[in-house]
Amino acid sequence: MKEKKELTVKCPTCRVETPWQGNAFRPFCSERCKMIDLGNWADGSYNVESVEPPDFSDEGQDSSNSMG
Ligand SMILES: [Zn+2]
């Protein structure tokens, strides 16, 4: 009886068991799941609390005529 134990991880996105070794997208099962996870992070961090009003500054053009 031979039992080969392979290291597997569960994909954080779809919970599918995927081999760790030889997996370019670990701990994800595929590139798609990796992208989904990254998308979730980007979406969750889109929380800006400090909202500052835009300041209107007059454009002061200073024209000095030295020769006149
Ligand atoms: Zn997956």
The per-residue pLDDT for range 30-43, each reduced to its tens digit, is: 999 999 998 877 76
Radius of gyration of the chain (CA): 28
The answer to whether position 51 is within a domain reads: no
Residue 3 lies in a domain: no
Centre of ligand 1 to C-alpha 7, Å, is 16
Query: How much distance in Å is there from the Cα of 24 to the middle of ligand 1?
Result: 13
How crowded is residue 35: how many other Cβ atoms within 10 Å of its Cβ? 13
Domain count, the chain: 1
- Considering the domain boundaries, does residue 22 fall inside one? yes
In sequence order, what E strands does the chain have?
8-10, 17-19
Model confidence at 2, pLDDT cuts 50, 70, 90, reads: confident
- What is the distance in A from the centroid of ligand 1 to the CA of 59? 54
Report if residue 31 sits inside a domain: yes
Q: Is residue 64 part of a domain?
A: no
pLDDT of 6: 83
Query: Residue 16 maps to which CATH number?
Result: 3.30.50.10
Are 16 and 32 in contact, with CB atoms under 8 Å apart? no
C-alpha angle 38-26-46 in degrees, rounded to nearest 5 = 10
pLDDT category at 22 given cuts 50, 70, 90 is very high
Residues spanned by the domain of 36 = 8-43
* Centroid of ligand 1 to alpha carbon of 48 (angstroms): 30
Within-domain flag for 67? no
pTM of the predicted protein model: 0.53
Which residue type does 15 have?
A: R
Tell me, yes or no, whether 53 lies in a domain.
no
